[in-house]
Structure 1
């Protein structure tokens, strides 16, 4: 999870720098396509994070049940 978060932060920082560096291209098809691709990637990463959190919570909750029933 920490690795995914680190990669997300690094990629987002690069994307924000790219937007500043390419502000004159704003509105062009290529610019818009890259922005859309980034947003799709970002949504996928956030979904992966959510799934990992859910999985971790399920493991924690199931181990609590095992302890309670044990």
Structure 2
């Protein structure tokens, strides 16, 4: 629905999954007015540690710092 009309589904929303696309989706839904009440990231702690060196470049390339 978000991709087709730019609107979020009404009501409370819980997202679960892994990887950066989950966070991107959460941000896009929140910007569209979704009521996000939960986010379950299933990425393993080891993978999070491996990603830390890439975090500054990832943040620079997103709207998070704009």
The TM-score with structure 1 as length reference comes to: 0.29
More relative contact order in 1 or in 2 (CA 8 Å, sep 6+)?
A: 1
Higher helix proportion: 1
Higher strand proportion: 2
The TM-score with structure 2 as length reference comes to: 0.30
Indicate the structure (1 or 2) with the bigger Cα radius of gyration. Answer: 1
